[in-house]
Amino acid sequence: MIFERIKNLVKTIFIKGPLLELSYSKISAYLFCPFKYKLIYVYKQKVPPNPYISLGLSIHRALEEYHKNKGSQLQELIETYDHEWVNEGFQNPQQTFQFYEKGKRMLTEYFEFSLQRKAEIVAVEKEFQYRVGPYILRGIIDRIDRLPDGAYEIIDYKTHAELWDQSRIDSDLQLTLYSLGAKNALNIEPVTFSYFFLAHNKLMPTQRTKAQRQEALKQLKNVSIKIKKQEFSPNTAQCHKCDFKQSCKYSTAKAIASNAK
Ligand code: SF4
């Protein structure tokens, strides 16, 4: 039995190659534009820094450190934010200040919210991975809480200005993948999944069903097959909102930008 398993593992690694690793970031990059996936995960190109990415990273890192250190004061949270501030991608000091202040306001309101919340934080930046057929599903969950009734709540922080409507939250793939990870890799069955929209200080909960998880697995399988076949055609309908629009060789938004000059 053990010999058989070792034989299969050796066959998988040395004959079929390493298992493909998938995550929500990879899937969403592929669904946005297969060539964007190739740029990031095959050519290993870094996404160019911009103020929104830097603000998001700063807030995520500040909350991670603050909660890991069992912070309880607003001053601690703001000092952690200062320490974790990512100073990249800003056009000038005014823009840096404007984004810094935006983040400080979000964290101040978040702190007020957290004082009222009756839940225990049991994990932050919790990693999961498990094998699903020919690939491995990985993810990092921003936060897992235990509610007063003993049930779990998985929370993902969002720092963008847009507040999604409930129907989008009810069907969003990211939380469905987290529900798969929590159930199959972390052995917890949370009853609630939530996005915390920090720009609005609003926690928006939702649920996931078995049917949604099965549908997500089908989607992952389809994407993994296309990646294995190296189907990386550009989806130029997305160029205008792509991080690589100025450098990608297929970008149609770059042509528009240079014509406008
Ligand atoms: S610029 Fe357009 S074609 Fe290039 S990666 Fe982005 S979306 Fe795809």
- pLDDT digits over 75-87, tens only? 999 999 999 999 9
Q: Are residues 129 and 136 in contact, defined by beta-carbon separation less than 8 angstroms?
A: yes
Per-residue model confidence (pLDDT) at position 134: 85
**Euclidean distance between CA atoms 97 and 8, whole angstroms:** 55
State the number of CA atoms in the 13 A half-sphere of 188 facing the CB. Answer: 20
**Euclidean distance between CA atoms 239 and 251, whole angstroms:** 6
Average pLDDT value for the chain:
91
Q: Are residues 102 and 85 in contact, defined by beta-carbon separation less than 8 angstroms?
A: no
- Say how many Å lie between the CA of residue 29 and the centre of ligand 1: 10
- Residue 120, pLDDT > 70, answer yes
Query: Of all atoms in ligand 1, which is nearest to the CA of residue 36?
Result: 5
**Euclidean distance between CA atoms 48 and 212, whole angstroms:** 34
Query: Of all atoms in ligand 1, which is nearest to the CA of residue 39?
Result: 5
pTM score above 0.75: yes
- Quickly state the pLDDT bin for 259 (edges 50, 70, 90): very low
- Residue 4, pLDDT > 90, answer no
Contacts of 47 (CB under 8 A, 6+ apart): 40, 53, 243, 244
- pLDDT digits over 30-51, tens only? 999 999 999 999 999 999 999 9
Query: Which of 32, 242, 247 has most ligand 1 atoms within 8 Å of CB, for mutation?
Result: 242
Per-residue model confidence (pLDDT) at position 18: 77
Per domain, the residue ranges of the chain are: 120-227
- Which residue CA neighbors atom 7 of ligand 1 most closely? 239
Query: Which of 31, 232, 239 has most ligand 1 atoms within 8 Å of CB, for mutation?
Result: 239
- Residue 199, pLDDT > 60, answer yes
- Say how many Å lie between the CA of residue 174 and the centre of ligand 1: 22
Query: Of all atoms in ligand 1, which is nearest to the CA of residue 241?
Result: 7
CATH number for 120-227 (one of 3.30.70.1150, 3.90.320.10, 3.40.190.10, 3.40.50.2300): it is 3.90.320.10
Residues 48, 54, 57: CA angle, nearest 5 degrees:
115
Query: Which of 31, 33, 249, 254 has most ligand 1 atoms within 8 Å of CB, for mutation?
Result: 33
- Residue 190, pLDDT > 80, answer no
- Say how many Å lie between the CA of residue 241 and the centre of ligand 1: 9
Q: Are residues 220 and 135 in contact, defined by beta-carbon separation less than 8 angstroms?
A: yes
- Which residue CA neighbors atom 2 of ligand 1 most closely? 239
